[in-house]
Amino acid sequence: MLANYPAERTWGAAHRLAPMLDARSIAVVGVSERANSFGLRLAQAVTSANFSGRIDFINPRYESVLGQPCRGSLGDLDEAPDLAILGVGGRNLEQSLLDAIRSGAKSAVIFDACNGNAADGSPLLSRLKDIASEHGIAVCGGAGMGLINVPSGCVASFYGASHLKPGGITLIAHSGSVFTTLAMNDPRYRFDLLVSPGQEIGATIDEYIDYAVSRESTKVIAVFMETARNPTGFQSSLKRARQRGIPVVVCKVGRSEESARMARSHTGALAGSKAAYEAVLEDCGAISVQSIDELMNVASLCSTGRLPGPGGAALMTDSGGLRELAIDLAAESGARLARFSNRTVQGLRQVLPQHLEPSNPLDCAADLTDDFSKPFEEALTVLSCADEVSMVGLEADLRDDYVYEEKLLDLALSLPRRTDKPCFFYSSFGRANNFLLGARLIDRGIPCINGIGETLNAISKLQEWSERLSQVADPVPEVSKSHAASWQACLSRSKSIDEYEALALLSSFGVPVVGNEAHDTLEGLKAAAKRLGYPVAVKTAAEGIDHKSDVGGVLLNIRDDRELEQAYGRLTATLGPRAIIQNMSPRGIELAFGCVQDPDFGSLVMVSAGGTLVEHFGGQQFALAPFGESRALELIGRLPIARLLDGVRGSAPADKIAAARALSRFSVMCAALGDTLKEADVNPIVVTAEGAMAVDALVVPAADRARKVA
């Protein structure tokens, strides 16, 4: 095939993946004329979508395949291809990749699972990764389905793409089955790029995201992923998408232990911590979803490039019963539906028949007359002008085999002309017969979503993303390098930090702590009690005891020197002379802070109910460190215990701002200490109307390899 592009193309400063994902010339190794063979299927797929560039077939056994000349080797080509598609088995892969590199190919696609060994006896997959790294060539695969650039017709896959129409969705799926399921099943989805990175031999998922962000045709990026093999690059690519206002919707699998194990066996991907990935996705502005249905519903909403402003969605339906169902589900799920202003309500009253209530969702179905569609049309006009309405959805009994009101179909097809807000069509029934209707609608720029629960979830996810996009960056407290370095040195050389030192560490980073001292004599404790003031608590400071209450190492409400002497005697008899003396903490609401070092993303901070309250309230929130006070306040506000902080049954509200400040400073500490800190546990943080303070703390240095916080 003759190319419509210059014979010599210089990519210059273009993205590293441009020769792969926007190839102008392709060489296909391993094509065949043999019936039912992989090589024939590959040749048919590559030529299925009217690619306007050059395609060369490579197989020394054939003079031609599908009527097109076939070359004996990549070395026989007149010019170097942008993309070499290596449709060969494992035993020929190493040599084929080297041949592609020698021919000047700028990128490659590999489908094989890359099992077995290379020529030097090393694992084949490792050898291929080494080759790709050494030569700097971008390689998609193995164990994948390749890629498809829908607008250009470049099909580097063994699945044909003649049925695909270009649109705004880039799909990146570690799973080849997800790639084919979503690309080949439903005409409602319109794609720009489809990529199956597989084992990521020579390009990681962050690079595909980053490239998609650079394309003007990209409106949304849908990602089905097992792991981020380049964690830093993954975060950077998500943040770049956020900066450009491009939603990235991520379905992360490997969330359970068994699923993570299966992910390792599938593509060699270490699935990582669920909490860490959730924190990363939120921190970097991505939309996290739990299923491929959810993935594509949200992506479909975003695919037209229209994104919501402030407010919430307004839904219009032709059924009172379905309206009530939607109201129930929205109330139960907290869906982001618009709350109509008085002005909007009055405007709706003027256009709706008297017996229809201006609620959200809005039932517009009156008597079935020639003017049946009029309330829908006029209500749409009102909603389009309402400041509190960020997007508009329409539901009507329209199916592939039945249209009960043609004017409603016309209205649905004309939605983007009647409002400049994001608009969509939905059906409360998840299995509605509307595939063909959905295709007609998306041709006009109207996403179609089935299932009221799925619809409410998708609009809520998108609305939340939009609101976060407009948030001002939360300032993070700064720490002097010398201060951080001194504590890093301390943790690096010490295998244990006692509670007194742990509280001192917290205090030095701005986390308020209860008054405390450490001594190994009764006289020292008595002098400390005089400075602190009775009543006090005394705890053992014996090395290696993390949970002091379990061994009788905590004595509370000591009121004078005599009781202090008795308490200290009991401690020293069994646990040694060193002890910590503290002020008794005030009564308040107890929280807990924690930190672990995630191997991929660094310091991961947790906040939850503390002390015994965790048994009654549970719930945890995670975030990557460091973060500012606004983020900390948001995390605390999500906890089930947050309602106690607001004050119940006449009790004064606790100082959530002080708690958020302490959590933010704790996160700054964790980030500053980095990998010198293995784990930290601060429990409880007592929050009162006057402030917040840490009462107990456990810090495990990275130098302590055996110890783990329970």
pLDDT value of position 612? 73
Q: Name the token pair of 523.
A: 């006289």
pLDDT value of position 13? 58
Q: Which is it for strands 536-540 and 691-694: parallel, antiparallel or unpaired?
A: unpaired
Strand partners, 513: 694
Do 116 and 177 share a domain, yes or no? no
Q: Which residues have C-beta within 8 Å of that of residue 147, sequence separation ≥ 6?
A: 20, 21, 109, 140, 154, 156, 157, 193, 194, 195, 196
In whole angstroms, give the CA distance from residue 202 to residue 195. Answer: 14
Do 241 and 367 share a domain, yes or no? no
Do 427 and 322 share a domain, yes or no? yes
Q: Which residues have C-beta within 8 Å of that of residue 272, sequence separation ≥ 6?
A: 227, 228, 254, 260, 598, 599, 600
pLDDT value of position 110? 98
Write the CATH number for 575. 3.30.1490.20
pLDDT value of position 80? 97
Do 413 and 461 share a domain, yes or no? yes
Do 405 and 354 share a domain, yes or no? yes
Residue 338: inside a domain: yes
In whole angstroms, give the CA distance from residue 70 to residue 31. Answer: 9
pLDDT value of position 591? 95
Do 288 and 384 share a domain, yes or no? no
In whole angstroms, give the CA distance from residue 324 to residue 410. Answer: 25
Residue 693: inside a domain: yes
In whole angstroms, give the CA distance from residue 481 to residue 484. Answer: 5
Do 405 and 336 share a domain, yes or no? yes
User: Which residue in 268, 394, 377 sits closest to 319, CA to CA?
Assistant: 394
Do 100 and 11 share a domain, yes or no? yes
Residue 499: inside a domain: no
Question: Which stretches does DSSP call E strand in 73-126?
Answer: 83-86, 107-110
Which residue, 545, 561, 584, sits at the end of a domain? 584
For residue 359, give its domain range: 312-469
Write the CATH number for 191. 3.40.50.261
Residue 709: inside a domain: no
User: Which residue in 404, 396, 400 sits closest to 435, CA to CA?
Assistant: 400
Q: What is the 3-state secondary structure (H, E, C) of 49-65?
A: CCCCCEEEEECCCCCEE
Tell me how many domains the chain contains: 5
Residue 86: inside a domain: yes
pLDDT value of position 399? 95
Residue 658: inside a domain: yes
Do 291 and 255 share a domain, yes or no? yes
Which residue, 305, 337, 354, sits at the end of a domain? 305
Q: What are the tens digits of pLDDT across the range 443-494? A: 999 999 999 999 999 999 999 999 999 888 889 999 999 999 999 999 998 7
pLDDT value of position 254? 80
Do 297 and 421 share a domain, yes or no? no
Residue 484: inside a domain: no
pLDDT value of position 707? 57
Write the CATH number for 41. 3.40.50.720
Do 320 and 461 share a domain, yes or no? yes
Residue 477: inside a domain: no
> Taking the model in full, what pTM does it have?
0.91
| 10-residue mean pLDDT series, the chain (710 residues) | 36 82 98 97 97 97 96 96 97 97 98 95 97 98 97 97 97 96 94 97 98 97 96 97 97 67 40 82 96 98 97 96 96 96 97 93 90 95 98 97 94 97 97 96 98 98 94 88 94 85 95 93 92 92 77 87 91 87 91 92 93 76 95 95 84 92 98 94 94 93 65
Return the half-sphere exposure (C-beta side, CA atoms, 13 A cut-off) of residue 688: 12
Q: Which is it for strands 154-156 and 68-71: parallel, antiparallel or unpaired?
A: unpaired
Contact 608, 621 (CB under 8 A): yes
Which residue, 254, 271, 305, sits at the end of a domain? 305
Do 278 and 316 share a domain, yes or no? no
